[in-house]
Amino acid sequence: MIKLEIAANSGFCFGVKRAIQIVQETIRQNSKVATLGPIIHNPQMVNYLKNRGLCVLDNINEITDETIIIRSHGITSYEYKKLLEKEVNIVDATCPFVKKAQKYAQKLTQEGYHLFILGEKNHPEVKALLSYVDDSATVIANPEETIKITGKRKFGLIAQTTQSEDKFERLAINLLKECEELNIIKTICNATLLRQKSTMDLAKKVDIMIVIGGKNSANTNRLAEIAKSKGCKTFHIETSNEIKKQWFDDVSKVGITAGASTPKWIIDDVKKELEKLN
Amino acid sequence: MIKLEIAANSGFCFGVKRAIQIVQETIRQNSKVATLGPIIHNPQMVNYLKNRGLCVLDNINEITDETIIIRSHGITSYEYKKLLEKEVNIVDATCPFVKKAQKYAQKLTQEGYHLFILGEKNHPEVKALLSYVDDSATVIANPEETIKITGKRKFGLIAQTTQSEDKFERLAINLLKECEELNIIKTICNATLLRQKSTMDLAKKVDIMIVIGGKNSANTNRLAEIAKSKGCKTFHIETSNEIKKQWFDDVSKVGITAGASTPKWIIDDVKKELEKLN
């Protein structure tokens, strides 16, 4: 008999809910609606919206006369400028916490700090952050990375909103050793922190963890990392189709958690599939 | 046969050397010279200066018409105001690094940060720091202390110039968990950092450590703490008179280190006494 437990704070966060509502509202009111890149990092949810009329463009040059929705992760200042030149209707679905991080990046840079961003340099949120400081910041994925900055002794530190608190603290200590001043602004969003904490607590209690969410989702990848770091056997899936029966041999307690962009219907579906194992 | 090794960077730092030079110069040029409290935290060195005409006053009310030297640790803003009212000749021997810390304390407080000071609340340097922010800062001696600040979510952090880097980092992490912004300015002076590092390295190599310096000297107490934390048997002495032969039974390697206010003649004297053990 397998016992299932779903982590508290699983699934949609405020910023994702808001972005999806904006898409649905915009589709209702306009005939041609597109996002630049996926609105959120969940292929299934994006597909659901595509089936309701949303178009996903990879490049600004593909735009003709669509109403353009800015994705939850934000876009670069260069893209924004180009968008304005296109003279199309723009709807901004950037997560307010991401916007806040962009403002803090600018503030620290303007005040003379060399800015460090804990994050993935190819993630759209980080690319956007960088663009707002004219690419002058240093992006760091590994908190133990050797810091090589000559000249400036005043460092600023922020994070991609979906990074882990533990990594952020480790990077802060690493940077502190290399500078005279360190101005830290905690831009990891509260929903991320709560979700990570619940996942950590659950991972300690169960035999295996099922982490549900886009393979391209930064916050979901962090959840899988956190569960693994607690010594828990962990499987990251997007949908119930990926579940393999053999994972559950000699397993009695299964924990489930889901990223900020994972819709409830996918979580429910995984739960239903797992219940069938009994 | 006992082998002795003296830690690099032992003894007088820039601020202490400067303060003693100022005292000697002032005695040469004036008939009545006094400090408010000891100029540095080394009773033997203070006694040496007293024998050359320096007077040490405990209280501003004791002042008559002396030239008053402000001690290396600085004085509170209230004391400074009172001194001005006395209309006496004032010579400032405050360590420039301590002065810098006072400026940073004011800057962070003025910018709206709740200021934390890693230090000993009864130490004259910390009392002075506090006075420059109208006692609005929180002084913390134990970096793992529970942080209880309601309202403010923007914290500032500095340290008494003679604190240890390790404690400073631990306090930074503790504070980071309790706030949204943390602006850290590293006010531990470089001489302190170098002396601590040399003491740490030597403590790892020897059987016992002799730490020489005032029992009232914050930076010397830190050195003793650091040597002990490396698992090394440690004795904190002010002069060679305190050396006990039995400390050296079954000992082959002895490390010596000295605080920033310990004069060379005391270090040399301890060394000579220890050499007699062979």
List pLDDT tens digits, range B253-271: 999 999 999 999 999 999 9
CB B248 within 8 A of CB B270: no
pTM over 0.90: no
Residue B174, min C-alpha distance to chain A (Å):
10
Q: Which of A169, A182, A186 lies at the smallest CB-CB distance from B184?
A: A182
| pLDDT of A202 strictly over 90 | yes
ipTM value for the complex: 0.85
Task: Choose among A187, A160, A159: nearest CA to A73.
Answer: A160
Stretch 163-182 of chain A: residues touching chain B, C-beta under 8 Å: 169, 172-173, 176-177, 179-182
Cβ contacts of B179 on chain A, cutoff 8 Å: 186
| B153 and chain A in contact, CB less than 8 A | no
Question: Binning pLDDT at 50, 70 and 90, where does residue B1 land?
Answer: confident
* For testing contact with chain A, the best of B118, B157, B184, B193 (most A CBs within 10 A): B184
pLDDT (0 to 100) of residue B151? 79
Q: For chain B, what percentages of helix, strand and coil (3-state, to nearest 5) are there? A: 45, 20, 40
Mean pLDDT of A233-242: 96
CB A208 within 8 A of CB A232: yes
Residue A170, min C-alpha distance to chain B (Å):
9
Architecture of domain B97-184 in CATH?
3-Layer(aba) Sandwich (3.40)
The string of pLDDT tens digits covering residues A103-132 is 999 999 999 999 999 999 999 999 999 999
| pLDDT of A151 strictly over 90 | no
| pLDDT of A278 strictly over 90 | no
Q: CA-to-CA distance for B186 and A172, rounded, in angstroms?
A: 13
| pLDDT of A150 strictly over 90 | no
pLDDT (0 to 100) of residue B245? 93
pLDDT (0 to 100) of residue B277? 86
Cβ contacts of A176 on chain B, cutoff 8 Å: 169, 172, 184, 186
pLDDT (0 to 100) of residue A222? 93
Mean pLDDT of B107-119: 97
Estimate the crossing angle of helix A96-110 against helix A124-131, to 10 degrees.
40
The class (CATH top level) of B14-94 is alpha beta
Q: CA-to-CA distance for B158 and B181, rounded, in angstroms?
A: 14
| A193 and chain B in contact, CB less than 8 A | no
Share of chain B above pLDDT 90, in %: 94
Return the higher-pLDDT residue of B150 and B100. Answer: B100
Tokens of B131: 């006075």
Q: CA-to-CA distance for A49 and A34, rounded, in angstroms?
A: 10
The string of pLDDT tens digits covering residues B154-168 is 999 999 999 999 999
Domain boundaries, chain B: 3-11+190-275, 14-94, 97-184
| pLDDT of A152 strictly over 80 | no
| B193 and chain A in contact, CB less than 8 A | no
CA distances from A224 to A211, A229, A232 (A): 6, 9, 10
Q: How many CB atoms lie within 10 A of CB B175?
A: 23
| pLDDT of A175 strictly over 90 | yes
CB A255 within 8 A of CB A8: no
Question: Binning pLDDT at 50, 70 and 90, where does residue B114 land?
Answer: very high
The string of pLDDT tens digits covering residues A204-215 is 999 999 999 999
CATH number of A14-93: 3.40.50.11270
- Mean pLDDT estimate for chain A: 95
Mean pLDDT of B91-102: 97
| pLDDT of A1 strictly over 90 | no
Tokens 């929705």 correspond to A69
* For testing contact with chain B, the best of A182, A187, A193 (most B CBs within 10 A): A182
Cβ contacts of A181 on chain B, cutoff 8 Å: 183-186
Q: Which parts of chain B fold into alpha helices (H)?
A: 14-29, 43-50, 77-86, 96-110, 124-131, 165-176, 190-205, 218-229, 264-275
Q: Which of A66, A79, A120, A125 is catalytic?
A: A125
Give the nearest chain A residue to B189 (CA atoms): A180
| pLDDT of A62 strictly over 80 | yes
Burial of A212 per CB tally in 10 Å (0-12, 13-18, 19+): buried
Given an 8 Å threshold on Cβ–Cβ distance, is B184 in contact with A185? no
pLDDT (0 to 100) of residue A277? 86
Give the nearest chain A residue to B182 (CA atoms): A184
pLDDT (0 to 100) of residue A148? 86
| A30 and chain B in contact, CB less than 8 A | no
Query: What fold does the segment set B3-11+190-275 form as a domain?
Result: Cobalt-precorrin-4 Transmethylase; domain 1 (3.40.1010)
The string of pLDDT tens digits covering residues B195-252 is 999 999 999 999 999 999 999 999 999 999 999 998 999 999 999 999 999 999 989 9
The reply to whether domains A3-11+190-275 and A97-184 share a CATH topology is yes
The string of pLDDT tens digits covering residues A25-61 is 999 999 999 999 999 999 999 999 999 999 999 999 9
**N-terminal to C-terminal alpha carbon distance within chain A:** 6
Cβ contacts of A172 on chain B, cutoff 8 Å: 172-173, 176
